Amino acid sequence: LSCFGSCSDRSLVELENELGSSHPEQNSKWLSGPLDRAVAEGVLNKKDGQYQFVNDRVKDSAYDLIDPEERCLHHFNYGLALCSVAERNDDDGLFLMAVGQINLGGPKAADDGGERSSAANYNLVAGKKARTASDFFSAYWFYDYGISYLEVGHWTNDYDLSLALYDGAAECA
């Protein structure tokens, strides 16, 4: 939970529900189970189905206990999983938050070129959504992160994506 803020929002519940229904062999409480244990230990409070750290110092301490590389992987993988949920539900707010999580993970968290390309594409879509909402600062941020996911030789191997990201960034700068 510390990787995602001081309290849970609907995205954690949606993620657990979506992934649980698409993977019935997986325990349906894979996320809420550990959070409920943290409530029992006094680290978290639970009210109306929402989990919250007892205070910011506990949240910061929990976050600092996670190895920085592992922390990036948590952000990246959580973001990728949420992107698919957001796309299925056509939820722009959740999608933008999910791409933000991917970006907190950064390019080093991507396993391979396919994940880097997916992250770049998600950032392109997020940049377009932010620009449509006239949020040029966020749009530029998404385009810039999208560029950071491009691999060496991207102008040759992924010209259209490269051009779209650079054009979007230039238009929002």
Residue 22: what pLDDT?
Answer: 52
Contact 79, 113 (CB under 8 A): no
| Alpha helices (H) in the chain, listed in sequence order | 10-22, 32-40, 56-65, 68-89, 92-105, 113-132, 136-149, 154-157, 159-172
**Which of 14-18, 51-55, 95-99 has maximum average pLDDT?**
95-99
83-126: per-residue pLDDT in tens? 988 998 899 998 999 999 999 999 999 988 899 999 999 999 99
The pTM of this model reads 0.84
CB-based contacts of 51-55 (< 8 A; 24+ apart in sequence): 51/1, 51/7, 51/8, 51/12, 52/6, 52/7, 52/8, 53/1, 53/2, 53/6, 53/7
Query: In this structure, what token pair is assigned to residue 107?
Result: 């390019």
pLDDT digits (tens, 9 = 90+) for 56-73: 898 889 889 889 899 999
Pick the more confident residue, 13 or 135: 135
pLDDT at 11: 56
How much of the chain exceeds pLDDT 90, in percent? 54
* Cβ pair 81, 26 in contact under 8 A: no
Q: How many CB atoms are closer than 10 A to CB 133?
A: 12
